[in-house]
Structure 1
Amino acid sequence: MMVSTPLLVTFCIYIAGMLLIGFMAWRSTKNFDDFILGGRSLGSVVTALSAGASDMSGWLLMGLPGAIFLSGISESWIAIGLVLGAWVNWKIIAGRLRVQTEHHGNALTLPDYFTHRFEDRSKILRVISALIILVFFTIYCSSGIVAGARLFESTFGMDYTTALWAGAAATIAYTFLGGFLAVSWTDTVQASLMIFALILTPVMVIMAVGGVDTSIEVIRQIDPQRLNIFNNLSVVAIISLLGWGLGYFGQPHILARFMAADSHHSMHSARRIGMTWMILCLVGTVAVGFFGIAYFADNPSQAAEVNGNSERIFIELTRILFNPWIAGILLSAILAAVMSTLSCQLLVCSSALTEDFYKGFIRKNAGQLEKVWVGRLMVLIVALIAIALASNPDNKVLRLVSYAWAGFGAAFGPVILLSVCWSGMSRNGALVGMIVGTLTVIIWKQFAWFGLYEIIPGFLFATVAIVLVSLCGKGPSQQVRDRFHHANQEYLK
């Protein structure tokens, strides 16, 4: 396969730009607080776009349009659920979590926050939550590496193993160099690139087919059920797709953006920016998959790659419809989506290993520079494990993401939601909630009872467990309640 020079040049320029940002962030990283949370200095625009880019991984440009291409508009229920969940997350959790983490030990990580919020001297919350982060994020990281490998495999004709390493190398490098600041600054660039690609590409697809009406008519002739948003969906299936929205409350890489904002007052404008960006991106990705049905029906000779793997639809449409220089920029959007999410996931894993295990149990008096370098080492270790998990070329991006998303949503979602809204939540309630949520997801996934997405029973059972244990057992101390109320009063100002 011949690799076009424009594609190669634009990819190289893009990757070089991300590495340059990583180097600039390296120079701004003075201590571990900077490496993990950027010194809590993010403004509303960076907070919004960084949260969005870290959320929308490779599945946005590969997994979801591929699902729409196969099944039609009925797969868009996922997008509806995500929009609802993200809005509630911004509205209820974002500002409150920013204030609560500062009042409870100036916590840098979720395990650190749980330890101080519930006055957990046994450190069991720190250990359990850090282990959950490591398990599910390693799976999540592997999904990003698979998406990157698919991109390099399709674009440059590499074999899967070579593409795996090529796709992961740049992300690992700038995360290793610059930590949180590098990740947040690059996320802002990558979010801009993603929205540009997801607005321009569906417009070109529609024009190539002959307009919206013509596209819809072509799809109707192929299979009218692909126009039906309820096609082949039971009530349980719709609830499962909408249930993706519950995952937002427990995603550490998104919550870290809230914790890093310069003030909870920034969340109002950040919410508007973030939600506008998200809705435009999701509409664009649904349109790529949907109108791609019509395009490849009109051009069956070009459909071999997409019929072989539907997750390549955005890649193939971009290569076919655009000048190679423009295609290179647009395909960089997939790399942007992969890199933005993978980088912050690596960073959260690094922070859990460094702050919650290394400092917590091995070197309690570790200095700032020592922790920064340990954090960088942990980025490499987690990345290598994720690459090993992603080595199977039959992996599907959306399947890997759905499992990790459910794990975090059920394990941490109810704990975070109740911890920022209810002063009476106890340590034992938090602990039982995490365990119940995690085990429910793992067990439900194996048996797939009722065809219900495992995040829904996991979230429900964890919430019930937290409330019951908190009400029936020993409640939090007055000191913990006072800190909660002081933080809440600051939030309400």
Structure 2
Amino acid sequence: MRLQLTQMVPVMLVFGTFFLAMIVFGIAVYEETQTFTDFTLGGRRLNAFIAALSAEASDMSGWLFLGLPGAVYAAGIGATWIAIGLAIGTYLNWRLVAPRLRTYTQLANNSVTLSAYLEERFEDDSRVLRTVSAAVTVVFFTVYVASGFIAGGLLVGQLFGTGFGFGLTVFAVVMVTYSVLGGFRAVSTSHSVQGTLMVLAAFALPLIGLWQLGGFGPLFHALAAKSPSLLDMGTKASFDHGQWGAGKPLGAIAVISLLAWGLGYFGQPHILARFMGISSTADIPAARRIGVSWVFVALAGASLAGLIGIAELHQPLKKPELVFIALSAQLSNPWVTGLLLVAVLAAIKSTADSQLLVSATSLSEDFFRAFLKRRAPDTALVWVARGTVIVVALVAYVIALSGGDTVQDIVAYAWAGFGSSFGPVLLLSLYWPRMTKAGALAGIMAGALTVALWKYIDPLLGPLQTGLYAMVPGVLAATAAALLFGAFVGRPPRRVWSGSMEKKEPSRVPIG
């Protein structure tokens, strides 16, 4: 979809201002980014507001304004089960993981990556656990960043008619510039602005649409006229050539698969990094309330936009994922359209820059410092980290240029991969003192392999084929492997981390 000429100039000015502001963020915090911890975790000084908005903006990606409204537009409210699962997962992640992970990563030799934390937590002198987990992080996230580059390039290129290559280049250069200059603090601070834009857009566009329709009553009447199945939580409406049909019941397997997306939160390194960077565990309850409220408003608004698109758009869309963009162009003046579309860009960028930084941090910490320069000074590590941001971005850029037809598949696959590989192991590491290194390694490998092979395994079950989203068997396999090997193979760590966060050099004392 391309903007009309009368819309082009205002939207370009809004986009240009947004890109410039992102670079200014990087310049503004450059002088504050002097140590490796500053660059990778913002010196663990994020306040509750920034930590909450950064975590949620990092989480949602362009899926919030493309994938979710598109799914609801095509299938009706039955597609919102995934939003319910994500909302529950967000709350549980803040409640169960955030406080302990913030405490234990600092006490675990001030770990700045999940891999470093796991190595310290399980006293793994062999470095196998760190290497395996870091390799999973770097490989998956580099491809994940490429999917963000593709989405950003497509959005900019299609809106302004510049072509994918030019749009991709502009998007990548801006993101890499402020990430290299300001690191984690620039990324997280920019997320507070982007997260605000995202939630305002998710709230404002449905409000405009409801006002023009005359409220919920006319909306529901219009949806029922198209197909009653659009208003049935237990049904997935059919959509073919602009016509909605009765569809078919979702069934328990489909509902479980959609809800299971919420399980992925416990193992997403780019979200967990925000928990690690918050200034104090005392700030976590406030951050949790802000984050969960943000998620509820954003998911509800994006879902409602999909429904309003069915009733409001003059012509049915061939590509349902463009419903939010089409509504923005049809329902508002050019300046408001620019702000709404910048929110879409912000959603894409806020996830991609988080993943880019996590990948670069893992290369710097888990490979360069761990294996090459254990005594490297802080200033050298900062510059190595900046260099690895550029390296990862270049690889992702090349991958993005090679083609952009599998963005949604990459997102679903990587989300399940991280959630299954790291989620069960991380939860057990925080709550089971006798968990062993063997259990952690078995859990990571079982989760990753199950997700990678599930599309081949499930069809082999014949009549018992489930059709489950790979997250479900992946989490089950990882949990079973971690519990089995954790209970019977190897010895538990002699000491793990607990105690006062106020100590400059926390001592190791037994948990529980």
Please state which band the TM-score falls in when normalised by the shorter chain: over 0.9
Q: Which has a greater percent of helix?
A: 1
- Any idea what SS the aligned residue of 2:151 has? helix
- Alignment partners' CA distance in 2, 1:90 and 1:284: 22
Q: Does 1:185 align with 2:173?
A: no
> What code does the residue aligned with 1:133 have?
T
Which of 142, 146, 149 aligns to 1:145? It is 149
Contact 1:63 1:397 in 2 (8 A): no
Answer whether contact 1:68 1:74 (CA < 8 A) is retained: yes
Displacement of 1:320: 1.6
Of the candidates 470, 474, 477, which is equivalent to residue 493 of structure 2?
Answer: 477
Matches of 1:258 and 1:90, distance apart in 2: 8
The aligned counterpart of 1:238 is: 255
Counterpart among 93, 99, 104 of residue 103 in structure 2 = 99
Question: What corresponds to 2:229 in structure 1?
Answer: 225
Cα pair 1:410 1:455 within 8 Å, conserved: yes
C-alpha deviations, 1:430-449, integer Å up to 9, x for none?
01110000000000134555
1:268 and 2:285 correspond: yes
Q: CA RMSD in A?
A: 2.0
Instruction: Say if 1:414 and 1:433, in contact at 8 Å, map to a contact too.
Output: yes
What does 1:54-73 correspond to in 2, within 5 Å? 54-73=58-77
Partner Cα separation in structure 2 for residue 381 and residue 446 of structure 1 = 33
What do the CA deviations read for 1:395-415 (whole angstroms, capped 9, x no partner)?
254322111100100000001
Structure 1 residue 381 and structure 2 residue 397: aligned? no
What is the deviation of 1:294?
1.1
For the pair 1:7 / 2:11, whether they are aligned, the reply is yes
Residue 124 of structure 2 aligns with an amino acid whose one-letter code is D
Match of 1:310 among 308, 312, 320: 320
Counterpart CA distance in 1 for 2:196 and 2:91 is 20
Deviation at 1:390, TM superposition (A): 2.7
Question: TM-score of the superposition, structure 1-length normalised?
Answer: 0.94
Matches within 5 A, 1:86-125: 86-125=90-129
Deviation at 1:461, TM superposition (A): 0.8
- Where do 1:250-265 residues align within 5 Å? 250-265=267-282
Which residue matches 1:52? Answer: 56
Q: Which amino acid aligns with 2:306?
A: G
Equivalent AA in structure 2 for residue 473 of structure 1? V
The alpha-carbon distance between structure 1 residues 243 and 331, as it changes in their structure 2 partners (threshold 3 A), is same
Structure 1: gaps (5+ residues): none
The structure 1 residue matched to 2:34, chosen from 3, 7, 30, is 30
1:198 matches 2:202:
yes
Q: Are residues 1:439 and 2:449 paired?
A: yes
Deviation track 1:92-138 (CA, whole Å, cap 9, x = no partner) reads 11001111111111111101101100000000111100111012212
Decide which moves more: 467-476 or 147-156. 147-156
2:268 is matched by which residue type in structure 1? Q
Report the count of equivalent residues. Answer: 483
Mapped to 1, the partners of 2:302 and 2:406 lie a distance apart of 18
| Distance (whole Å) between structure 2 residues aligned to residue 187 and residue 433 of structure 1 | 32
Matching of residues 341-360 of structure 1 within 5 Å: 341-360=351-370
For 1:446 and 1:157, the matched residues in 2 are separated by: 40
Identity, in percent, stands at 42
Q: After TM superposition, give the deviation of residue 72 of structure 1 in Å.
A: 1.1
Give the residue type in structure 1 aligned to 2:390: L
Supply the distance in 2 between the matched residues of 1:31 and 1:342 (Cα, whole angstroms).
23
Report what 2:135 is aligned to.
131
Rate the CA distance shift 1:173–1:446 in 2: closer, same or farther, 3 A: farther
TM-score by length of 2: 0.91
| Cα distance between partner residues in 1 of 2:434 and 2:453 | 30
